[in-house]
Amino acid sequence: MLVLNMVHIKTFINTIHIMETILVTGGTGLLGKSLENVVDKTKYNWVFLSSKDGDLRIASDTEKIFKLHKPEYVFHLAANVGGLFKNIKFPTEIFHDNVLINENVLQACHLFKVKKVVACASSCIFPSNPPFYPMAENMILEGEPHSTNASYSWSKRLMIFQANNYRQQYGMNIIIVNPVNLYGPHDSLDLNDSHIIPAVIQKIINAKTTNASSVTIFGTGRPLRQFLYVDDCARMLVLVFESKENLSIVNCSNNEMSINNCVEIIAKNIGYTGKIEYDTTKSDGVYRKTISNSLFLSLFPSFDFTSFDVGIAKTLKWFYENR
């Protein structure tokens, strides 16, 4: 019979590595799925939530989730989000849902003494007519957000305001990240409320499949956008989370391009040679909303961004396998 004395027992206990838990809201969305694919699961116990785990718009549901998982850290990615035309069509629901989600999650982080929070805002929170470009993190309140996505923008601005309250009153360690337009695997395939890249991909694939001589894209195609491959954004979030710097808000962005240039690259990768037409009766949204990534690059100067061509090729591979 093996007999363990107290020294053996203490030595055995000390060798057990109890992993801390990181809770990810919006864990089955575009960014959540990407985060799940890029993180090191040997360092932490990662819990990726879906809507099946509870309704974050309801405070009691949110508290039950936190009580169940007892997270030490939280990545808050959950949101009622969609493309330009969803924002125009459902502004009331988008504002209502996001205000409740953000407040309930931040309140639960406070109640359950979460050590660090990384919360996702958006580049759309920045003013539509700033004094200059690109916009740094301290320029968020330099003007009104664009009217076409004002509800989503203001809900995220309010989250930043409340994050500052928790930081100042309770010392909460919370970092806000502002991603630009994300694209990649696991994006919405719904033409009615998807972002521009999956909508364009769907339209051009359908045009090629049906041998259509032309395809119509909403808007003029002239506006400029920053498109960030979703795995890049996920890696950026992890780096920000692991940073020892005293951070409060960080932009996650890269270079900008025109929408018509984006459409041409997608068409080339799909192999569509028909005519691309633009429906100028449809809204363009804001013409430009370029944000600076100088702060991020000052912290992580060797970060390797995925080129748009490579990112589109990877996205198309997923689309063909899952559409």
| Phi, psi torsion values for 214, nearest 5 degrees | -150, 165
Distance from first CA to last CA of the chain, Å, rounded? 60
Question: To which H or E segment does residue 47 belong?
Answer: strand 45-48
Which structure tokens are listed for 320? 């063909």
Beta pairing class for 73-76 and 256-258? unpaired
- Listing DSSP states for 196-208 in one string gives HHHHHHHHHHHHH
- Would you state the structure tokens that stand for residue 49, as one six-digit string? 């939530």
* Cβ-based neighbours of 41, under 8 Å, separated by 6 or more: none
Catalytic site includes residue 152: yes
Q: What are phi and psi of 319, to 5 degrees?
A: -60, -45
| Contact present, 181 and 31 (Cβ < 8 Å) | no
Paired with 214 in beta bridges are 275
Q: Using alpha carbons only, how large is the chain's radius of gyration in Å?
A: 22
Instruction: Choose the catalytic residue: 44, 133, 152, 278.
Output: 152
Name residues whose C-beta falls within 8 Å of residue 205's C-beta, 6 or more positions apart in sequence. Answer: 270, 319, 323
Could you say which DSSP state residue 291 is in? B
Q: What angle do CA 93, 95, 101 make, to 5 degrees?
A: 95
Distance CA 88, CA 82 (A): 10
Active-site positions read 152
